[in-house]
């Protein structure tokens, strides 16, 4: 949304010299609070900010220009916050978004909540009504801090004086670097942003980083003894290991222990799928977990994505050891047998250094790999042939085509949607950290795909981003195609166009019968024409061969290309039904 003018007609200049409206052009501003804020962001490594402008944050935008920080302007504030989340997932570094007050902030709340649920290092800065007008019914005034706190964000309200605001912002960002990843809401009242501040100085950063936290030696020794005594151990690695940068430590752990590894969420690609001892994601590696007698869980919560730590994924009699720096991570319906409170990389290295060998079944790694291979074969058998006519493609062929197109290529793949996600996950491998981004938090947000892909393309201009999206999911953020075009990003979008919400229709058919199909279909939307209207290259393709050719051409060229692919609306996915039966949905 667009913010309100800085002052009413005929008014005197506002706080810090904000120009009246309408009136003569204002003189170039002296240093303002917003300039201090922007300079502080730049000093803490923020190079890109996703934003939609408004009156309260105009000085911050001007400060970004002065500080050399790239603003990427969007069409909806929700997309700005989601792009900040996508930046973190693609880079492992904090992502930042800047929105204005009122509805500008409330539009961004879904992205803020997505960051909270994913434990992502997102920094959402939002303008707020001047302090003197808060709580009096002013336009755009709402208690934003209370809303941000209610969804679980860490809240910081910047003080009025620019130097103090910069100091508080710097302290907030510095503390966030030291703690486990968290989503921060930073409130910028208008009187802070527009206040005169004198020459900008950047607060000094910490002189050194403290060492990574390790569990107590006695607890570490206990964990090593328990794990070494297991015959069929598995290591499940989640997002906490990604934020810790634990890829090398995980490689050393596998080499020393011979324990098979399953990756999930942001940890996908931390060790490459297909490598020795790597079983892939939960869909394929979960079969080995179901046979394990010991599971080392590194950096993931016992939420619905892992069946709440219960059967069939976690056998009831298996030893479960959790590695997570957050003490609250152990609170679950099924608490771990042992919780090692420590950094993922440091703790893995601690286990590796103390590893004595163990009673592991020597055939276990091969059996675990065979189980993962059997899962892949089952999914392969569920996919019909592509056929030679113009009939809608099976959705799995879109995932297979994307996997073939990016094989051996440094690209970032993003998957978004309900039905298409469950067909894509079994077929898309992850080979590098941050190379496979999906709708993965328990908030279940769809519509994040295009923002994530734009953020990945902005973060890695040397390689394309490829988005595989459902038609419903893309519709939630489709105007951001214009954002990608405007900023000249390399982006390929493949739309699984089945004319509705496929996962919802499957549930309705299963539970209510054909008459239960209500509000879940929207017909044949021509996303190729929309893409063309927004300045991208739009094409409709109706066969696997045409899709393969279109992907090759799009990946070889610049700019934004969208391939609109009609898919079978009746293709049912057994995984969706199984998730419902297990009480995950």
DSSP string, 452-473: HHHHHHHH-TTS-EEEEEEHHH
Which fold does the domain 382-581 belong to in CATH? Rossmann fold (3.40.50)
CA of 397: how far to CAs of 377, 394, 546, 550, in Å?
Answer: 15, 6, 12, 14
CA–CA distance, 6 with 21 (Å, rounded to integer)? 7
Side-chain half-sphere exposure of 513, counting CA atoms within 13 A: 1
Residue 548: CB atoms within 10 A of its CB come to 17
Residue pLDDT, tens place only, 250-304: 999 999 999 999 999 999 999 999 899 999 999 999 999 999 999 999 998 888 8
Q: At 429, give phi and psi (nearest 5°).
A: -80, 165
Class of domain 15-193: alpha beta
Residue pLDDT, tens place only, 9-64: 333 444 444 444 444 455 556 799 999 999 999 999 999 999 999 999 999 999 99
Q: What burial class does residue 13 get, using C-beta atoms within 10 Å of its C-beta: 0-12 exposed, 13-18 middle, 19+ buried?
A: middle
Helix (H, G, I), strand (E, B) or coil at 483: helix
CA–CA distance, 445 with 573 (Å, rounded to integer)? 19
What kind of architecture, by CATH, is found in domain 220-374? 3-Layer(aba) Sandwich (3.40)
pLDDT tier, 583 (very low <50, low <70, confident <90, very high otherwise): low
Buried b (16+ CB within 10 A) or exposed e, 151-179: bebbebbbbbebbebbbbbbebbeebeee
Structure tokens at 422: 């469950």
Residue 29: CB atoms within 10 A of its CB come to 17
Instruction: Check: CB of residue 560 under 8 Å from CB of residue 485.
Output: yes
pLDDT at res. 572: 76
Q: What's 202-262 look like in SS3?
A: CCCCCCCCCCCCCCCHHHHHHHHHHHHCCCCEEEEECHHHHHHCCHHHHHHHHHHHCCCEE
CA–CA distance, 257 with 223 (Å, rounded to integer)? 13
Q: What is the DSSP letter of 156?
A: E
Instruction: Check: CB of residue 282 under 8 Å from CB of residue 438.
Output: no
pLDDT at res. 331: 67
Compute the mean pLDDT over every residue in the chain, rounded to the nearest whole number. 89
pLDDT at res. 22: 47
CA–CA distance, 348 with 253 (Å, rounded to integer)? 6
CA–CA distance, 235 with 254 (Å, rounded to integer)? 9
Residue pLDDT, tens place only, 484-525: 999 999 999 999 998 888 778 888 887 888 888 888 788 889
Residue 174 is inside which H or E element, if any?
Answer: helix 162-178
pTM assigned to the model:
0.91
Q: What burial class does residue 541 get, using C-beta atoms within 10 Å of its C-beta: 0-12 exposed, 13-18 middle, 19+ buried?
A: buried
Helix (H, G, I), strand (E, B) or coil at 157: strand
Residue 311: CB atoms within 10 A of its CB come to 14
Q: Residue 184: CB partners within 8 Å, gap ≥ 6?
A: 122, 123, 124, 153, 154, 155, 156, 172, 173, 176
Q: Which residue has the higher pLDDT, 174 or 6?
A: 174
Residue 463: CB atoms within 10 A of its CB come to 17
Domains 15-193 and 220-374 share a fold: yes
Residue pLDDT, tens place only, 528-562: 999 999 999 999 999 999 999 999 999 999 999 99
β-strand pairing of 95-99 with 70-73? unpaired
pLDDT at res. 196: 92
Q: At 231, give phi and psi (nearest 5°).
A: -90, -30
Average pLDDT over residues 138-164: 96
Average pLDDT over residues 410-416: 95
| Domain assignments of the chain as residue spans, ordered by start | 15-193, 220-374, 382-581
Please, which contacts does 335-343 make with residues 24 or more away whose CB atoms are closer than 8 Å? Answer: 336/297, 336/302, 336/309, 337/226, 338/219, 338/222, 338/223, 338/226, 340/215, 340/219, 340/220, 340/223, 341/213, 341/215, 342/212, 342/213, 342/214, 342/215, 343/212, 343/213, 343/214, 343/244
CA–CA distance, 336 with 483 (Å, rounded to integer)? 45
């Amino acid at each position: 949304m667009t913010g309100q003018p800085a002052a009413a007609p005929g008014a005197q200049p506002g706080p810090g010299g904000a120009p009246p409206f309408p009136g003569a052009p204002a003189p170039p501003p002296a240093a303002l609070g917003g300039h201090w804020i922007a300079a502080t962001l730049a000093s803490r490594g923020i190079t890109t900010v996703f934003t939609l402008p408004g009156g309260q944050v105009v000085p911050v935008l001007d400060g970004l220009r002065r500080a050399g920080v790239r603003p990427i302007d969007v069409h909806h504030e929700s997309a700005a916050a989601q792009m900040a989340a996508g930046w973190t997932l693609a880079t492992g570094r904090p992502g930042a978004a800047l929105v204005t007050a009122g509805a500008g902030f409330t539009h961004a709340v879904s992205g803020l909540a997505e960051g909270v649920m994913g434990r992502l290092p997102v920094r959402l800065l939002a303008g707020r009504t001047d302090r003197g007008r808060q709580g009096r019914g002013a336009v755009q005034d709402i208690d934003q801090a209370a809303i941000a706190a209610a969804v679980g964000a860490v809240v910081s309200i910047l003080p009025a004086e620019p130097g103090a605001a910069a100091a508080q912002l710097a302290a907030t960002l510095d503390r966030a670097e030291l703690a486990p990843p968290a989503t921060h809401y930073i409130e910028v009242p208008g009187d802070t942003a527009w206040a005169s501040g004198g020459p900008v100085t950047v607060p000094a950063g910490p002189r050194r980083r403290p060492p990574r936290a390790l569990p107590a030696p006695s607890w570490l020794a206990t964990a090593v003894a328990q794990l070494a005594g297991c015959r069929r151990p598995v290591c499940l690695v989640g997002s906490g290991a990604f934020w810790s940068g634990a890829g090398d430590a995980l490689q050393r752990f596998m080499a020393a222990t011979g324990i098979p590894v399953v990756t999930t969420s942001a940890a996908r690609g931390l060790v490459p799928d297909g490598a020795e001892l790597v079983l892939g994601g939960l869909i394929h590696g979960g079969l080995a977990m179901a046979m394990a007698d010991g599971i080392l869980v590194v950096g993931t919560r016992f939420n619905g994505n892992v069946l709440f730590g219960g059967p069939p994924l976690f056998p009831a009699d298996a030893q479960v050891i959790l590695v997570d720096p957050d003490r609250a991570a152990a609170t679950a319906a099924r608490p771990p047998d042992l919780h090692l409170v420590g950094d993922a990389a440091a703790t893995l290295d601690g286990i590796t250094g103390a590893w004595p060998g163990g009673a592991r079944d020597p055939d276990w790694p091969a059996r675990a790999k065979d189980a993962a291979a059997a899962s892949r074969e089952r999914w392969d058998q569920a996919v019909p042939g592509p056929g030679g006519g113009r009939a809608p493609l099976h959705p799995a062929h879109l995932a297979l085509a994307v996997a073939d197109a990016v094989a051996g290529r440094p690209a970032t793949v993003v998957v978004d949607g309900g039905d298409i996600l469950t067909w894509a996950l079994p077929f898309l491998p992850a080979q590098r950290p941050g190379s496979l981004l999906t709708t993965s938090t328990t908030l279940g947000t769809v519509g994040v795909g295009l923002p994530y892909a734009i953020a990945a393309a902005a973060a890695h201009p040397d390689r394309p981003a490829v988005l595989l999206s459902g038609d419903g999911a893309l519709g939630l953020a489709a105007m951001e195609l214009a954002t990608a075009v405007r900023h000249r990003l390399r982006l390929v979008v493949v739309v699984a166009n089945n004319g509705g919400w496929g996962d919802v229709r499957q549930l309705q058919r299963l539970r209510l019968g054909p008459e239960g199909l209500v509000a879940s279909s929207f017909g044949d939307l021509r996303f190729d024409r929309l893409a063309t209207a927004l300045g991208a290259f739009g094409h409709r393709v109706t066969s696997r061969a045409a899709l393969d050719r279109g992907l090759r051409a799009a990946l070889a060229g610049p700019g934004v290309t969208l391939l609109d692919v009609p898919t079978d609306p009746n293709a049912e996915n057994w995984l969706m039904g199984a998730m419902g039966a297990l009480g995950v949905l």
